[in-house]
Each structure stands twice: as structure tokens, then as C-alpha cells.
Amino acid sequence: MIHFVIVGVLVLLSTYGLYNFVLTNEILLPIQASEQAIPIDNLFEIQWFFISFFFSLIVIFLLYSVVVFRRKKGDDGAGEHFEGNTVLEIVWTVVPLIIVLFLALKGSEALAEVERRDPNAYEVTVVASQWNWRFEYPDGETSNTLVLPLDTQILLRMYSNDVIHSFWVPEFRVKQDILPGGGEYIRELRITPNQLGDFKIRCAELCGQLHYSMLADVSVISQDDFDFWIKEQGGGCESDDVTCGKLWVDQNACTACHSLTGEVIVGPSWKGLYGSDVKLNDGSTVVADEEYIRSSILQPDYQVHEGFSGILMPSTFSESLTSEQIDQIIAFIQSLE
Ligand code: CUA
């Protein structure tokens, strides 16, 4: 009897310790920054309680038996044998069954809460591609930072230009894979930010060479600041060609692959590229003039720079960039001599 009391007390202490260690430790759980995070964290707390309890029950029972009932010196007898225990078998079948049904109920409640639709949700289109994020707002504004107003349900409609990516902001808790193909493959995710602050989107699907660097900033600001920000975005570019070209280069994250310093990342560096002789994979040589650069943007797999792959560069710029934007990007590259 005394063994049961000791094991019981140890199990309760261990359950209490484990349960609190994870739930009160900020390093283990990021802050809760969306309405959807609340039901998810509540569900996690319930599950974590059962996990802490059963882990403690099994491990402490095991360790206690190993230490206390170990074979002692001079004791060569076999232990006591017994077979079957109907009460125990009923208990260990019925109790887990009740717990599983309870968790299923709580899980479906949490799912319904996370997917709850606000008919006035603010819609943002998320375009993922190797390896950058672009966010399109209702009036045509685009940005590489996901700026969101506080306390408004955001409906993210997401698609990919190439392979499967995944939208994940740990502080919002929810996560959604993003598929290529458009139309019926567009995926939706609802987020109601309830904390001001800056967070990071991490692509959570292995999507190629630079998957690890497929990050974007998320900024949650007040409704007033948001209204001001969206007005500023306005679309278009009113400046000279080189400045506008740089803007398009930043928006499309070209420099993730093409350095401006001469360093080779994934594609050829743009430093000193304009006007230089470029050796192609087929052995011939061309001059990197306006025409060559335009064709490289529109048809990356046509005249490929020696030592590089033409298929790593997205082939979608002929649709996503206007010819004026391409001219301005070329002007920017030309300015890098
Ligand atoms: Cu996109 Cu990983």
C-alpha cells in the first residue's frame, strides 16, 4: 500500500511540474497574437494535461519498480506470478475511450472556432513563389511585407507560382499549405490579429534551394495607421527609371538570387553584368545588352549563363511584370556597372 501512495504522490508532482513548465515558459510557446490562437492554445492545454499525466504515470511507475524492486543480493527466487485482472482491463479500456471522445469533442469545437467566418473579413491575396512572398491588397496595392490592421478578420487567399509552399506565423498558430494551379487550388486562411507587433512568416514546406530564406515580415498596426499605410502604397512608381526599377527588384526579391556585389548566390551577380560578354551553356557568347537581359527575364531557360541553371528562375515574369517595369529593371541593372 505504501508503494501506491509514494508512486501516486510522485505522479501528481511530476504532472504538475511538466504541465506548468511548458505552459508558463515563453521560450517554449510563442506569444498569442490572433483570435484563432486562443482556441488552439486552450486545446493544447487540455491535451498537454493528459500528456503530462500519462507520461508521469508510465515513467515514474517504471523507474520506481526498477529501483525499489530490483534484484537484491542473495535473492534468487522468481517474483510472484499472476494472470488476468478483469477490473484493471475494463478500467484501462473505458478511461482512455472517454478521454479520446472528450478530446474529439474539444478538437471539433476548436476547429469550428478557428474557421469561423466574418462576412466583413478583409481580403488579402498571398502569392508565394521560389523564394519570396507577395501580398496583394483589394485596390491593387502590392507589398512584400504583410501589413495587417488590428482586430479585423483577415481572409488570406493564397496561391503559388511554382511549387508547394506553406504559410506559417507561429504567433498566429494557424498554418496553411499553398498550392500551384490557381482556381480551385487557391487556399484560404483566416486570421484576426489581436496584438500589435512585428512577426515573421516562415515557409513551412521544403520548396527548394533557398527554402530556409523564404521569410517575410508581418506587421500588425492600428486601423488608423493601416488606412494611412494603404494610401501610401498606391501602386505605380512616380520616380525615375532606375529608382522604379529598384522598387520592382525589391518587390520581386530578385536579389535573393542575384547579388549586387559580385558574389554568386543562385544566379549570376548583376554587378558589372550590363554590357559584359556572357558565355552561355551551349558554348556561344553573347553581349549582355538590353535585349539579352529582357529575354533572360521573360524566358529564363532560353539563353542560360554558363554554369547556371535556367529552371531555378521563375518563368512567370512575362505575366507578372509589365514591359515598362522590365525596362525600368534593365535601367537599374545598367546602373550597376
Ligand atoms: Cu517556400 Cu519553403
User: Looking at the whole model, is its pTM more than 0.75?
Assistant: no
Summarize pLDDT for 280-297 with one digit per residue, the tens.
888 888 888 888 888 888
Nearest residue (by CA) to ligand 1, atom 1, is 165
**What pLDDT is stored for residue 234 in this prediction?**
62
Is the pLDDT score of 123 beyond 80? yes
Query: Is the N-terminal amide bond of 229 cis, ω within 30° of 0?
Result: no
Cell 510563442 found at? 30
**What pLDDT is stored for residue 140 in this prediction?**
76
Q: With a 6 A CB cut-off, is 216 part of the ligand 1 pocket?
A: no
3-state class (DSSP) for residue 276: coil
Summarize pLDDT for 145-186 with one digit per residue, the tens.
899 999 999 999 999 988 999 999 999 999 999 999 888 899
- CA contacts within 13 A on the Cβ side of 228: 5
Q: With a 6 A CB cut-off, is 126 part of the ligand 1 pocket?
A: no
Residue 309's Cβ-count burial label (10 Å; 0-12, 13-18, 19+) is middle
Please report how the helices 290-298 and 323-334 are oriented relative to each other, as an axis angle in degrees rounded to 10. Answer: 130
Q: DSSP characters for 127-148?
A: EEETTEEEEE-TTS-EESSEEE
Q: With a 6 A CB cut-off, is 205 part of the ligand 1 pocket?
A: yes
Q: How far, in Å, is the centroid of ligand 1 from the Cα of 194? A: 26
C-alpha cell at 220: 500588425
Pair 214, 207: CB distance under 8 Å? yes
| Rounded Cα–Cα distance for residues 280 and 270 (Å) | 16
**What pLDDT is stored for residue 176 in this prediction?**
94
**What pLDDT is stored for residue 74 in this prediction?**
79
Q: How far, in Å, is the centroid of ligand 1 from the Cα of 167? A: 9
Which atom of ligand 1 has the smallest separation from the CA of 163?
1
The CA-atom distances, in angstroms, between 303 and each of 204, 208, 287 are 33, 22, 11
Q: With a 6 A CB cut-off, is 207 part of the ligand 1 pocket?
A: yes
Q: With a 6 A CB cut-off, is 214 part of the ligand 1 pocket?
A: yes
Region 317-335 average pLDDT = 82
Q: How far, in Å, is the centroid of ligand 1 from the Cα of 137? A: 22
Pair 326, 244: CB distance under 8 Å? no
**What pLDDT is stored for residue 235 in this prediction?**
58
Q: With a 6 A CB cut-off, is 124 part of the ligand 1 pocket?
A: no
Q: With a 6 A CB cut-off, is 169 part of the ligand 1 pocket?
A: no
Q: DSSP characters for 177-223?
A: EE-BS-GGG-EEEEE-B-S-EEEEEEE-S--STTGGG-EEEEEEE-H
Q: Which of 122-136, 153-167, 197-211, 313-327 has the lowest mean pLDDT?
A: 313-327
Rounded to the nearest integer, the mean pLDDT of the chain is 87
Is the pLDDT score of 191 beyond 90? yes
Pair 144, 135: CB distance under 8 Å? yes
Q: With a 6 A CB cut-off, is 246 part of the ligand 1 pocket?
A: no
Region 44-67 average pLDDT = 91
